[in-house]
């Protein structure tokens, strides 16, 4: 695990702010493009991080979970949307959900490309390393198919009715289930392996 230097802590905080702001913006903007103005009316089609960030779940939680698990678990304020206003119904909702984590994958790829022309060992290189790792982690974590994470909303669009009913029943307990799986079910190790696999595939 990376040592907790001041540069690392600042890099984590700045990376979180950028990655979550872009993530939530893309949810809101994609919903807007698909005909739902709910997020737009709430001021969430914005690159202002204060419109998206929750101090506890966006800043404190990932720092604590990095220390405990070596993998950041974090969340911003959920972007509101009305699936009845979206084009393509459930598939429109799946597109809105997928837009967030895919934006983090794109940020990681851009960071990896920039890192290739940055001098090794510099502060910029250290920041980019943290930025890439964190965006990959956000991408992977949000694809977990457990409500309320984005992966579950993508799966919901293609799932049979019994699976949809299950998702609806467990959504309010989803975060508790995820934490339990990370702590006791080995999910933390799975996430770490998936993160490393994606990092290995980056340019």
Distance spanning both ends of the chain, measured CA to CA: 23
Cis-peptide, bond into residue 148, ω within 30° of zero: yes
Structure tokens at 67: 């220390």
24, 84, 125, 171: which is the annotated catalytic residue? 24
Query: Among candidates 93, 92, 96, 61, which has minimal Cα distance to 76?
Result: 61
Could you confirm whether 125 is annotated as catalytic? no
Q: Which residue numbers are catalytic?
A: 24
């Amino acid at each position: 695990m990376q040592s907790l230097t001041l540069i690392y802590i600042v890099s984590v905080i700045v990376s979180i702010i950028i990655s979550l702001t872009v993530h939530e913006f893309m949810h809101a903007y994609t919903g807007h493009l698909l005909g739902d103005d709910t997020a737009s009316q709430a001021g969430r089609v914005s690159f202002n991080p204060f419109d998206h960030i929750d101090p506890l779940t966006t800043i404190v939680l990932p720092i604590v979970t990095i220390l405990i698990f070596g993998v950041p678990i974090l969340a911003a304020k959920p972007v509101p949307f009305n699936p009845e206003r979206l084009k393509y119904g459930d598939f429109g909702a799946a597109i809105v959900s997928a837009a967030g984590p895919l934006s983090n994958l794109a940020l990681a790829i851009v960071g990896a490309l920039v890192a290739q022309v940055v001098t090794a060992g510099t502060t910029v290189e250290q920041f980019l390393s943290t930025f890439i790792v964190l965006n990959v982690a956000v991408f992977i974590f949000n694809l977990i198919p457990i409500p309320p994470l984005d992966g579950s909303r993508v799966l919901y669009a293609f799932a049979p009715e019994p699976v949809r009913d299950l998702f609806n029943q467990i959504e309010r307990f989803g975060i508790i289930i995820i934490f339990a799986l990370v702590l006791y079910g080995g999910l933390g190790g799975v996430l770490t392996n998936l993160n490393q696999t994606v990092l290995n595939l980056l340019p």
